[in-house]
């Protein structure tokens, strides 16, 4: 009997919450995993799947293997074989948590296939270790808006419901930007005043979340620790953000490590999307627009496939 899991896209950082804030979005990748009879078979359909390997280096498979190894069941992978079907809506390597969907999906599917030998806490810790930072994986697991970090090797997570009325317009430029490249653009030290700015904004954003105050939450999104250094890697981003604001967005920031941008609003999604597209186009970059909402539900088992 196989399993099917659905994992949401995520946007990390939300401006000043670098490596700390994440939010789940209404765009999904789905995985079906079942025992096979001819070794490993992986198929992938949907957004950007031509970029994904379908051999043992596939991230979904690597995550599945971690669960089998941790539970002492690795031999079953050889004995029984495995069939993995991947259906992707989330663009690959664009700052919308596609690798987190693969890691979380693989871990959750394998755990279900084996009859739930591992706890949620164990799976989250494995996911954070594989991804390297907690923001995308914790929001893909818990949904909503998640503030998370590592504390003495354990993952601390506080989840909030997104402020009501929040809508999102995501502009996805037609080029990839690897997180590693985007992290390499960061300086080794920042001015003291910039660190204080982010500390202040990120802390107040948590207070705004506790109050469910959408306008306050969005008005605090100016970042000084990473966007400034990353924007040059995303031609048109500065103009697209300025135009989104002119068109009525409450705020607009880099989604995760980019290159996608995410604008937050209560309405006017169509004109905000067009404005962002125009901003990119002026720099010769085509961008696809996604009108999304935050979602409360993180990774979910959809059903058993007999």
Give the strands of the sheet with 261-265, arranged side by side: 251-254, 261-265, 167-173, 287-292
- Residue 133 binding ligand HSE, by CB under 6 A: yes
Burial status of residue 242 (CB atoms within 10 A of its CB: 0-12, 13-18, 19 or more): middle
| DSSP one-letter string for 11-59 | EE-TTT-TTTEEEEEEEEEEEEEEE-SSSEEEEEEETTGGGS--STT-H
* Cα gap 137→299, rounded to integer Å: 10
Question: How far is residue 102 CA from its own chain's centroid?
Answer: 10
What x-and-dash track marks residues 91-120 binding ligand HSE by CB under 6 A? ----x-------------------------
| Region near ligand HSE per CB under 6 A, out of 10-18, 69-77, 108-116, 138-146 | 10-18
3-class DSSP state for residue 248? coil
Determine contact, residues 10/136, Cβ cutoff 8 Å. yes
- Residue 59 binding ligand HSE, by CB under 6 A: no
Residue nearest to ligand HSE according to CB distances in the complex: 256
- Residue 256 binding ligand HSE, by CB under 6 A: yes
Determine contact, residues 98/91, Cβ cutoff 8 Å. yes
Q: Using CB under 6 A, which of 65, 70, 158, 183 touches ligand HSE?
A: 183
Query: Which CB sits closer to ligand HSE, 68 or 142?
Result: 142
**Which residues 6+ apart lie within 8 Å of 79 measured at CB?**
none
Q: Using CB under 6 A, which of 66, 112, 125, 135 touches ligand HSE?
A: 135
Q: Using CB under 6 A, which of 29, 89, 237, 257 touches ligand HSE?
A: 257
- Residue 12 binding ligand HSE, by CB under 6 A: yes
- Residue 148 binding ligand HSE, by CB under 6 A: no
Closest approach of ligand HSE to the CB of residue 190, in Å:
14
Determine contact, residues 133/124, Cβ cutoff 8 Å. no
- Residue 136 binding ligand HSE, by CB under 6 A: yes
Query: Which CB sits closer to ligand HSE, 29 or 136?
Result: 136
Query: Which CB sits closer to ligand HSE, 111 or 260?
Result: 260
3-class DSSP state for residue 173? strand
Closest approach of ligand HSE to the CB of residue 183, in Å:
5
Write out the residues near ligand HSE by the rule CB under 6 A: 12-13, 18-19, 95, 133, 135-136, 179, 182-183, 256-257
């Amino acid at each position: 009997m196989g399993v099917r899991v659905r994992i949401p896209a995520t946007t990390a950082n939300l401006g000043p919450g670098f490596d700390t804030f994440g939010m789940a979005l209404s765009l999904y990748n789905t995985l079906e995993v079942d025992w096979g009879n001819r070794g490993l078979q992986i198929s992938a359909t949907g957004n950007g799947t031509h970029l994904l390997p379908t051999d043992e280096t596939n991230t979904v498979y690597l995550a599945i293997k971690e669960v089998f190894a941790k539970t002492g069941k690795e031999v079953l992978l050889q004995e029984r074989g495995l069939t993995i079907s991947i259906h992707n809506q989330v663009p690959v390597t664009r700052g919308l948590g596609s690798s987190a969907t693969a890691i979380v999906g693989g871990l959750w599917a394998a755990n279900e296939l084996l009859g739930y030998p591992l706890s949620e806490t164990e799976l989250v810790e494995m996911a954070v270790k594989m991804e390297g930072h907690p923001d995308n994986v914790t929001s893909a697991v818990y949904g909503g808006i998640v503030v998370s970090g590592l504390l003495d090797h354990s993952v601390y997570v506080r989840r909030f419901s997104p402020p009501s009325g929040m809508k999102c317009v995501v502009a996805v430029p037609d080029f990839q930007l690897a997180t590693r490249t985007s992290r390499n653009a960061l300086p080794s030290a920042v001015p003291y005043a910039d660190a204080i700015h982010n500390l202040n904004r990120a802390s107040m954003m948590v207070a705004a979340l506790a109050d469910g105050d959408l306008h306050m939450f969005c008005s605090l999104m100016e970042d000084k620790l990473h966007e400034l250094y990353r924007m040059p890697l995303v031609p048109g981003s500065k103009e697209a953000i300025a135009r989104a604001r002119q068109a009525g967005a409450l705020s607009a920031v880099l989604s995760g490590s980019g290159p996608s941008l995410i604008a937050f609003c209560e309405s006017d999604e169509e004109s905000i999307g067009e404005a962002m597209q125009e901003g990119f186009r002026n720099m010769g970059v085509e961008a696809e627009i996604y009108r999304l909402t935050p979602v409360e539900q993180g990774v979910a088992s959809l059903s058993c496939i007999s």
